[in-house]
Amino acid sequence: MRRLFTILCTLVAFTTVAQNSGGIDAAMLEKIRDGYHNTLSERAIKNALATTSIATLAVNGDNLAMCDTHFSHRVKTVGITDQKSSGRCWLFTGLNVLRAKMIVKHDLKDFEFSQNYLSFYDLLEKSNLFLQGIIDTRKCPLDDRKVEWLLKNPIGDGGQFTGVSNLIMKYGAVPKSAMPETYQSENTRHMRTILSLKLREYALKLRSAKNAEVAHMKPIMLTEIYGILVKCLGVPPTTFEWTAYNKKGEKVSTKQYTPKSFYDEYIGEDLENNYVMIMNDPTREYGKVYEIDYDRHVYDGENWLYINLPIERIKEIAIASIKDNTAMYFSCDVGKFFDRKKGTLDLANFDYHSLFNTYFPMDKKERISTFASGSSHAMTLIAVDLDQSGKSTKWMVENSWGAASGYKGNLIMTDEWFNEYMFRLVAERKYVPEDVLKMLDQKPIMLPAWDPMFAAEE
């Protein structure tokens, strides 16, 4: 009897363990199956999904009409750029902000900076940033979090605004005619693969080298990287001739320039001190300043530093800038509720609830916390539509996907979409209220480079 009792207890314990193991057992699977009701509407949706994309079937038929494209306030801009198959949206966006200023300031018909020129130095500087990071951490084990992050992210062509400011202030800028795009600058995937492979190889050599050898190894490595970049992107000009024409097509001047003298003459702004980076991140305390460790393009440059503000304060700054005909660097989670054909970002574009018969109730804070949303793409904020009370109803950004993309190369977003998926804005200090500027006196809260909110914008 005692043995029978022991066996029964063992069986009960085994059954309890099995039920609480976390797996899907037969009973649970049967319950799951019974909970699904294969109705006519369910079968119709299943049949449709078998041959048609979710994006097509989820289109909201009540929202097919194009929105009103009138804007009460719009920055004067000319032309649309195209980053092609590269992750340089951050660079195109920053240069588009400066391009709009230059065209108005100097009464030009059109103009475009060379993105390839700054891409060259961006990749060279990022290579140095990586190699020096390896040198700085060479005594740490390979599984150290920072070493692991470096090896996983040796180089890429994505980035953010501090890359624009640091690179231009260090290397100047040139017109597109002085260093045009190449196939590799417009199609960067294979070039990035080659550079990444080489940099990881160098990382192992630097980690195993003697202390006395490291100092002279890095310049040799960077020389080889420089050679790869020259083959892919061309030789960056140190001097060039450029002729300026006004709106009437009349020749204004022809001069010899260096990249620094060209920038100083036509823009001349201190990009590192005249701009403030602002972010809406409801997962963190508002009114605080945050710094992201190692989130920079240049080793001796600036980490990304931003003020976290409620969305309404950000709108206040954006509206002030647009009213004064000044475009801004802007980034968001562009893939959410994006109608590519119309070029609209609107929460009503897609009806996933009706298609899948389930709700998606997470708010912005919850989406960020669960990695469901984050900033992915930078564009140039150029317009806002205000109602009679001065409240924003919609916004427009100049994109860098070519003139045939979206609405004449632009994207239009509703104010509701702006609230949910806008993340970053870079504005001139003169448009930022004094109480916000005073926040910069705080000691920044340091965040790690691998924080999910700060992936490079592409």
Q: Enter the tokens of residue 242.
A: 């450029």
Query: What residues are paired with 447 via a beta bridge?
Result: 292
Q: Specify whether the CB–CB gap between 406 and 343 falls below 8 A.
A: yes
- Residue-wise pLDDT for 62-111, tens only, equals 999 999 999 999 999 999 999 999 999 999 999 999 999 999 999 999 99
Close Cβ partners of 232 (under 8 Å, ≥ 6 residues apart): 182, 184, 185, 191
pLDDT for position 20: 60
First to last CA, the chain: 72
Beta bridge partners of 246: 108
pLDDT of residue 453: 76
Cα–Cα distances in angstroms (integers) from residue 9 to residues 2, 4, 5, 118, in the given order: 11, 9, 6, 73
Query: What amino acid positions are annotated as catalytic residues?
Result: 89, 377, 399
DSSP 110-168: ---B-HHHHHHHHHHHHHHHHHHHHHHTTTS-TTSHHHHHHHH-S--S-B-HHHHHHHH
Q: What's the rounded Cα separation, in Å, for the pair 58 and 349?
A: 8
pLDDT (0 to 100) of residue 457: 79
Provide φ and ψ at 191, rounded to 5°: -60, -45
Q: Quick check: 313 and 395 in contact, CB under 8 A?
A: no
C-alpha distance from residue 216 to each of 121, 136, 225, 298 (Å): 21, 15, 15, 20
Angstrom CA distances, 310 to 278, 284, 297, 313, stand at 10, 11, 28, 6
Cα(259)–Cα(49) distance, rounded to whole angstroms? 54
**339 by DSSP, 3-state: which?**
strand
Alpha-carbon distance 339 to 39, whole Å? 30
Specify the pLDDT at position 18.
46
Q: 320, 278 in Cβ contact below 8 A?
A: no
pTM: 0.93
The DSSP secondary-structure symbol of 59 reads B
CATH T-level topology, domain 73-454: Cathepsin B; Chain A (3.90.70)
What was the pLDDT predicted at 357?
A: 93
Residues in the chain where the model's pLDDT stays below 70: 1-20
pLDDT at 254: 96
Q: Where are the domains of the chain?
A: 73-454
User: SS3 breakdown of the chain: % helix, strand, coil, rounded to 5?
Assistant: 45, 20, 35
pLDDT digits (tens, 9 = 90+) for 13-50: 444 444 568 999 999 999 999 999 999 999 999 999 99
- 407 in helix, strand or coil? strand
Query: Cα separation of 424 and 77, whole Å?
Result: 21
Give 454's strand partners.
none
